[in-house]
Amino acid sequence: MNKIYLWGIVITVAMLGFTYMSVGMSEGGLNGDIVNMLTVAAAISLVVITVFVVIKYVRQMQTDTADGQLADEQWDGVGEYLNEVPKGWAIMFLLTMVWGMWYFIAGYPVNSYSQIGEYNEDVAVHNAKFEAQYASITGDRLVEMGESVFIAECKICHGLKADGIDGKAANLNQRIEAKTVKFAIENGSNNHLLGSEMPMPDRNGLFNTNTGSLITDAEIDVVSAYVANGMTGTGADVFVGTCAACHGEDGKGMEYVAPSVATFSPALVTNILNHGKKGAIGKMPAFDRLNAKQKEAVGAYITSLSN
């Protein structure tokens, strides 16, 4: 017998042996279960067919000799036969290209029919139902809903008590920490806190109108503590002279000009969730997976913590 058939039989037996060891010997084994039996039968046929088809081609490579006309070009003595492109292959190739274009333009895009598209449609329907059901809730129920969103999405960074877990994220029991205020003054701020792009200048653009000069290091420290203490203590004069023009004397902000640094509001939190925020502590991620109502709710919850 040709050595190659012998090898084929050895490999087949070995592979079937491995299959038996992993399936047949496991607890319960084949167990007469029809699905298991069919799977094993399929595995056996695949092994046998694969091994003997491979053998057929190896034999053919050993014995076949080529004929036909050689092309003129040669590469280090290696030539190429002048063969027609097989018609079936060429047709398949062109059809694959057409199919590929269809798939890119019409088939795959997430809103057309595809498993992803179907999933997205289902999610949209579900979300619409959800939003209709909760559209009108306000007050305490909104805060409660926000608390559950917070526990599900935010507590991993901000902590169950929203205290920021020792500086890992912002402590949301107060509007803002001194180091965050200081960071905003020194570096400016461009986090879409007003929704639109409305940056705050850095310290080189912050004049204290009381002294007529740029804000100083000492003033930055004192005004940061003032804002972090809920707009109390020393520093009111610096705030009025430097910040009030945009943030208002009480720090509660002005629409389209500057956000409140004294209080949270659902709108401010929603803007932070829409765009994320980079600051002194680190990076707050954007939360695209929350819908508008959930953002409003978690904003109401955070507002209720500090105000």
Burial 30-66 (b: 16+ CB within 10 A, else e): beeeeebeeebeebeeebeeebeeebeeeeeeeeeee
Comparison of 180 and 267: residue with beta carbon closer to ligand HEC? 180
* Distance (Å, whole) CA 275 – CA 92: 47
The Cβ-side half-sphere exposure at 20, using a 13 Å CA radius, reads: 6
Would you tell me which residues interact with ligand HEC (CB under 6 A)?
A: 153-154, 156-158, 169-170, 172, 176, 180-181, 184-185, 189-194, 198-201, 206, 215, 223, 227, 242-243, 245-247, 258-259, 261, 269, 272-273, 277, 279-285, 287, 298, 302
Q: How far is the CB of 263 from ligand HEC (least distance, A)?
A: 11
Comparison of 51 and 258: residue with beta carbon closer to ligand HEC? 258
Q: How many CB atoms lie within 10 A of CB 266?
A: 18
* Distance (Å, whole) CA 217 – CA 215: 7
Are 224 and 234 in contact by the 8 Å Cβ rule? The answer is no
Q: Which residue is nearest to ligand HEC (CB)?
A: 279
Looking only at Cα atoms, what is the longest distance across the chain?
Answer: 105
Q: How far is the CB of 130 from ligand HEC (least distance, A)?
A: 17
Q: How far is the CB of 135 from ligand HEC (least distance, A)?
A: 20
Comparison of 96 and 307: residue with beta carbon closer to ligand HEC? 307
Q: How far is the CB of 242 from ligand HEC (least distance, A)?
A: 4
Question: Measured in whole angstroms, how far is the alpha carbon of residue 284 from the centre of its chain?
Answer: 14
Comparison of 145 and 273: residue with beta carbon closer to ligand HEC? 273
Comparison of 45 and 204: residue with beta carbon closer to ligand HEC? 204
Q: How far is the CB of 149 from ligand HEC (least distance, A)?
A: 6
